[in-house]
Structure 1
Amino acid sequence: MKCSDHSFYTGHTDNLEQRVAQHQSGIFTGYTYKRRPVELVWSENFPTRYEALEAEKRIKGWTRAKKQALIDGDWDLLCALARNRSDR
Structure 2
Amino acid sequence: MLCRLGKQVRHLRLAHNISQKDLASGSGVGLSTLKRLENGQGCNLAALVQLLVALNCDDKVDVLFAQLAEDVAGSRAAIRSRASSPRKAVDP
Normalised by the length of structure 2, the TM-score is 0.32
By percentage of residues, which structure has more helix?
A: 2
Q: Whose radius of gyration is greater, 1 or 2? A: 2
Normalised by the length of structure 1, the TM-score is 0.33
